[in-house]
Every structure is written in C-alpha cells, then in structure tokens.
C-alpha cells in the first residue's frame, strides 16, 4: 500500500491537519499544536463528508 495523504485530528486539542500515512512504515504522531500523541487518522469517508 503506497503512502497517501490523510487527515489527522488531535483528540486532545481538536486541531486537524494533513499528513502522510504509510501503512507499512508507521511513524510516531504528535500534534503540531499541543504535542499530544492522541492523533486519530480520520477515515476517508469522514474527511469527504466534512
């Protein structure tokens, strides 16, 4: 599975941002705003809806 652009949401501060997601090569996520690691990768359907 090739790396793709996805939307992330910080569950601590609510900040949303775009980033690359590679299923094979997972990297540590941290919120660029509050540094929390509770970063949810938003499902594609949810991003399209919003």
Partner 1 sequence: MMDVGRHPKVELFTNSEVENVTGFVGNFNVTIRKKARYVDANECTACAECAKVCPVAVPDEYQQGFSSRKAIYMPFPQAVPSAYILNMDNCLGNNPIACGKCADVCEKHCINYDDQDELVNIEVGVVITATGMDVYDPTEYDEYGYTRFDNVITSMEFERLICAGGPTEGHFIRPSDRKIPQKIGFIQCVGSRSQDGRGNPYCSNICCMNTVKDTLLLCDHYPGVEAKVFYMDMRAFGKGFEDLYMRSKEEGVKYVRGIPGDVVEDPETRNLLLTVENTTTGKLEKHELEMLVLSQGVIPRQDGDSIRKLLTLSQTSDGFIMESHPKLKPVDAPTKGIFIAGCVESPKDVKDSVTQASAAAARASILLNAGKTKIEAITSQVDTELCNFCGICAKVCPYNAISASDRKAEKPPTIIAAACAGCGACAAECPQDAILMRHFRDEQIMAQVEALVKDDPEKHLLTFACNWCSYAGGDNAGTARLQYPTSSRLIRTMCSGRVDEKFVMHAFKMGAPMVLVSGCHFADCHYINAVHWTQKRMDRLWNKLDKLGIRVDRLQLEWISAAEGQKFAKVMRELEERVQTVTDEEIEHTKKVLAEEEAKAEAKKKKKAKAGAEVSA
**Burial environment of residue 42 by CB neighbours within 10 A (0 to 12, 13 to 18, 19 or more):** middle
Does residue 4 bind partner 1 (CB under 8 A)?
A: no
Tokens of 26: 């997972």
Nearest to 9 by CA among 28, 32, 48: 32
Does residue 48 bind partner 1 (CB under 8 A)?
A: no
- For partner 1, the binding residues in 8-37 under the rule CB under 8 A are 11-12, 26-30, 36-37
Please, what is the minimum distance in Å from the beta carbon of residue 12 to partner 1?
Answer: 7
Where does this chain bind partner 1 (CB under 8 A)? 11-12, 26-30, 36-41, 43, 46
């Amino acid at each position: 599975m090739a790396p793709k652009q996805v939307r992330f949401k910080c569950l601590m501060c609510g900040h949303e941002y775009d980033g690359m997601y590679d299923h094979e090569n997972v990297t540590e996520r941290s919120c660029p705003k509050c540094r929390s690691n509770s970063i949810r990768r938003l499902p594609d359907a949810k991003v399209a809806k919003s």
